Structure 1
Amino acid sequence: MFSKAHYPDILMPEDLDLYLADGWFRWGQSIFTTSFLSFNSQFYRAIWLRVVLSDFNDDKTYKKLSRLNNSFRVEVQKASITPEKEELFQLYKKGITFKVSESLEALLFGTDQKRIYDTHEVCIYDNEKLIACGFFDMGKDSAAGINSFYNHEYKKYSPGKYIIYSKMMYCKNLGLQYFYPGYFAPGYSAFNYKLDIGRTALEYLDTASEQWLHINTFDSVTGSVSEMREKLSNLAEHLNAADIDARLLTYRYFDANLVADFNGYNLFDYPMFIYCLEFVPEIINPVIVYDFRDQHYHLIRNMSVGMADKIEDHSTEYSAHLMKPRQVIFSSDNPEMMANMIASAFRRDVKAESTKLKA
C-alpha cells in the first residue's frame, strides 16, 4: 500500500522510533504514511527525510543563523497551547500560500481526547514578545519535527530554519540518533527549505529498496509521478496501436486510506491508471497501473466499496467508485507484452460475444 494510517491508543517512545524509520508522520493523535500528495490538483511524490545527528555539526548555516538571532531568547520545554501561540499561528497562516491546520489545537490533537505523543516546543522571544515557535515529538532514540511558525515581520532572521536547527541541536545534545523533519515533494517548492538544513547529514527513504540513503544520491526522476505517467502513456500508445481505446486517468480517491472511516479497508491507492475497457458506471473493469517499486505494470481487478452519488464519465479523472484491490491478473515489466496480453484477451471477449449473438 502507498498510504496507511494507524490510530494507536498508546505510543511508546521506541514504537515512535520504528514508525519514523519506516517513513511515518504524526497527524493529530494518529500517525500516517503516504507516497503521493496532491496540491492544486497536481500529484507529487512524498520523499521522507531524516538527519543523522551524529553526523550533524555546527554547519555554516547554523552558525550564521545563531549570530543573526543572538539577541533573541530561545526556550525549549514541554509543549503547551496558549492564546499567545495560537495568535502567532493565525498570524503566520496569513503570510503563507500552502494550506495548514485551522488551529494549533486541531494540528496537535484533532478531535481526540487522548494524548499519545511526548511533544516539546522551541520558543523564540524578542524580549518578552513571542516571535517564533515550533513543536517536535520525542521518541527513545529519535525525534520528529511537527511544525514551525513565526511572525513574518522577523522573516529576515530566518526564524523557521533557526527553529528547526534549534530542535536538532537540542536532540543531538540529548544523545538522540535521528531527527525527522517530515517530507519534501520534488517539483513543489514549498518544502525545499528542508533540503538545506543539515545537508551533510541528510538522508531520504528510498521506497523501492526500503533503505535510507544520503540525499546527494537522490534521483528526482526514478519513482516520480512523471515517470509513472510516462510509463503509462507509453503503454497506452501500444494499446491504441492494437486498436484498444486506452485512457490514462487520475484517481480522485487515491488517499482514501488516510480517512479514519476507511481504516483497515486497504483501498486501491494508485494516483493514476489506464482504463482500457468500456466505461459502464455500474461495473468496475480491471485497470492497469505502473508500480515504481518493482518497475512492473499490473492488471488489477478491483471491487467497489462505494459508488458516487453522481457518476460522470470524466475524460481525465475516475471518480465513479471507491475501489479495493481483489486480484492482480497479470504483471509485466514490458509494455508491449502487457499490451499484447490485453489485446488478446479483448479479441477473445469480442469473439465470444459475437458467437453468443449468432447463437
Structure 2
Amino acid sequence: MNDPILQYYLPHHLSPKRLDRYLASGWFRTVNMLFRAKVTCFDNDICSPINIRLKLSEHTLSKRLRKLDNRNKKIFRHEIRKATITREKEELFHLHQRRFRSFLSNSLEEFLVLTPRFDTYEINVYDEDRLIAVSYFDQGESSLMSLLGLFDPGYASYSLGMYTMLLEIEYAKSTDRMWYYPGYVHERPSIYDYKLRLGKSEVYDWDTKRWLRNIDPHTQPNCADHIKVQTAVLETQLQSAGIAFQRKIYLFFGWHYFNSLYEQLFHCPLLLMLPDGRVVAYDPENEMYICDKLEIYVPFRDIQMTLAPDFDASMHHTDVMRVVEKLYQTPNPADMVNYLKKTISMPYEFNWWSKNQVTN
C-alpha cells in the first residue's frame, strides 16, 4: 500500500524544532493542525499540492522585487507583532475572500485558529493609520511558514500580497532562519504560481521524501494526474461496454483521514456513479479499481460551508458518503468492466442518485 493521499496531525504541543522537522517532511498548517496532501480539490478539479521552500542563505531578490520592496517601504509603514484577529482584519478577510476557490471559510477566525501550539506572528501594513494588508506566519527554530496574506483590493496595484511575503523573508533572515516555506503551488500553472517569483525554490518530492533543486514543479510526477489517467482508462472501457456513468469530484474524500472514527467513509477523490447506485473509482493507495455501495453519512445541507461563486456543483458530489459494502476490487480495469456487466441491475438511468443527491 502507498502512503495515504492525505494526512492530518493535531499536536498537543509543538516545539519550534519539531515544527521545523514537520515542515521539512512536507507538512503544512491548516486551521489548528498540520496536514500533508498528495491530492486536494481545487477549481472544479482535483490537483496535487507541490510544497516549495527557499534556502535563505542563498536567496536574493530579483531586480523587480527589489523595486517593489523599496517603493512600498517609502509609501507605507509596517509593524510585526504577535498575531491577533480584530474587526479590521475580519473586514480585510471578507474583502479578500473572492480570491479563494471551491469553498470559503465564514470568517478569519474560522480559517486561522490562533493556538498556543503555534508561534504565530503577523505583519500589518498601513497607509498612514489605515490597515491595508496583513499577513500571518508561524515560527519554527530555523524556519518560517507563511500562512495567509490579506490585502485591500483597492490597493491591488501595489502587489501587497507579494510585498508582505518579502517582509516575511526579510524578517526570517534578520532572525537567522534557514528556511522560508511559502506554502505550495499546484502540479499545473495556477493562481499560486506567484510564489515562484520569490526566488529559486526547492521542491518536495513525495517519492524520495527529499527536497529537489533546480526542478520545475509543473513537470513533477504527481498523484492527481495519476488518478485522472487511471480513471480515464476505466471510463474508456465503460463507454466501450455501453455502461452509463457520471464522473464526479468527491469534495469530502478528506474526511476519511481525520481520525479512526471516519475510516468507513469513502476516500477516493474521483468517483464514477453507476445507474444502480454503486460507485467505481481508482484507489491510488492500493492501486486498485474498486466498486462500493455507498450511503449518505452527512448531507451537504448539514455542513456549515459556503461555496465560492466559481464552484460548479454539477461537477461534484457534495454529500459525505459512507461505504456500506465493498463489492469488488481489481488492479485490472477490464476485470472491473466484466464484473459490472455481469452485475448491473437497473436500466441506465440515474434514478437512485437523482433521488438521493442533495441539492446545493
Pair 316,116 (structure 1): closer, same or farther in 2 beyond 3 Å: closer
**Residue type of the partner of 1:269?**
H
The separation in 2 between residues aligned to 1:320 and 1:5, in whole angstroms, is 18
The separation in 2 between residues aligned to 1:16 and 1:328, in whole angstroms, is 41
2:229 is matched with 230
The separation in 1 between residues aligned to 2:87 and 2:257, in whole angstroms, is 30
**Residue type of the partner of 2:267?**
D
2:138 is matched with 137
The separation in 2 between residues aligned to 1:303 and 1:137, in whole angstroms, is 43
What is the TM-score normalised by the length of structure 1?
A: 0.74
SS of structure 2 residue aligned to 1:57: coil
The separation in 2 between residues aligned to 1:309 and 1:127, in whole angstroms, is 48
The separation in 1 between residues aligned to 2:222 and 2:41, in whole angstroms, is 16
The separation in 2 between residues aligned to 1:97 and 1:175, in whole angstroms, is 32
Asked if residue 254 in structure 1 is aligned to residue 253 in structure 2, the reply is yes
SS of structure 2 residue aligned to 1:54: helix
**Residue type of the partner of 2:16?**
P
Match for 1:289 among 269, 274, 282?
282
Q: Which has the higher contact order (CA 8 A, sep 6+)?
A: 2
Shift of 1:189: 2.9
SS of structure 1 residue aligned to 2:112: helix
1:192 is matched with 193
Per mean C-alpha deviation after superposition, the further-off stretch among 120-129 and 207-216 is: 207-216
Pair 320,37 (structure 1): closer, same or farther in 2 beyond 3 Å: closer
2:23 is matched with 20
The separation in 2 between residues aligned to 1:303 and 1:349, in whole angstroms, is 13
The separation in 2 between residues aligned to 1:308 and 1:66, in whole angstroms, is 48
Shift of 1:121: 1.2
Output the aligned Cα RMSD: 3.8
The separation in 2 between residues aligned to 1:101 and 1:190, in whole angstroms, is 19
The separation in 1 between residues aligned to 2:223 and 2:24, in whole angstroms, is 21
SS of structure 2 residue aligned to 1:69: helix
Pair 301,345 (structure 1): closer, same or farther in 2 beyond 3 Å: closer
Asked if residue 153 in structure 1 is aligned to residue 154 in structure 2, the reply is yes
Per mean C-alpha deviation after superposition, the further-off stretch among 59-68 and 35-44 is: 35-44
**Residue type of the partner of 2:289?**
L
SS of structure 1 residue aligned to 2:231: helix
The separation in 2 between residues aligned to 1:154 and 1:347, in whole angstroms, is 59
Pair 274,149 (structure 1): closer, same or farther in 2 beyond 3 Å: closer
The separation in 1 between residues aligned to 2:144 and 2:239, in whole angstroms, is 50
Shift of 1:174: 1.8
1:45 is matched with 48
5+ long unaligned stretches in structure 1: 332-337, 351-359
Asked if residue 206 in structure 1 is aligned to residue 209 in structure 2, the reply is no
**Residue type of the partner of 1:245?**
I
The 5 A counterparts of 1:122-133 are 122-133=123-134
1:102 is matched with 106
Pair 82,266 (structure 1): closer, same or farther in 2 beyond 3 Å: same
Q: Which has the larger radius of gyration?
A: 1
The separation in 1 between residues aligned to 2:271 and 2:104, in whole angstroms, is 29
SS of structure 1 residue aligned to 2:212: strand
**Residue type of the partner of 2:183?**
G
Asked if residue 298 in structure 1 is aligned to residue 285 in structure 2, the reply is no
The separation in 1 between residues aligned to 2:55 and 2:90, in whole angstroms, is 32
What is the TM-score normalised by the length of structure 2?
A: 0.74
1:76 is matched with 80
Shift of 1:300: 4.1
Shift of 1:145: 0.5
Pair 320,65 (structure 1): closer, same or farther in 2 beyond 3 Å: closer
Residue identity over aligned pairs, in percent, reads 26
The number of equivalent residue pairs is 325
Contact 2:188 2:218 in 1 (8 A): no
Match for 2:63 among 60, 64, 84?
60
The separation in 2 between residues aligned to 1:9 and 1:105, in whole angstroms, is 20
Shift of 1:62: 3.0
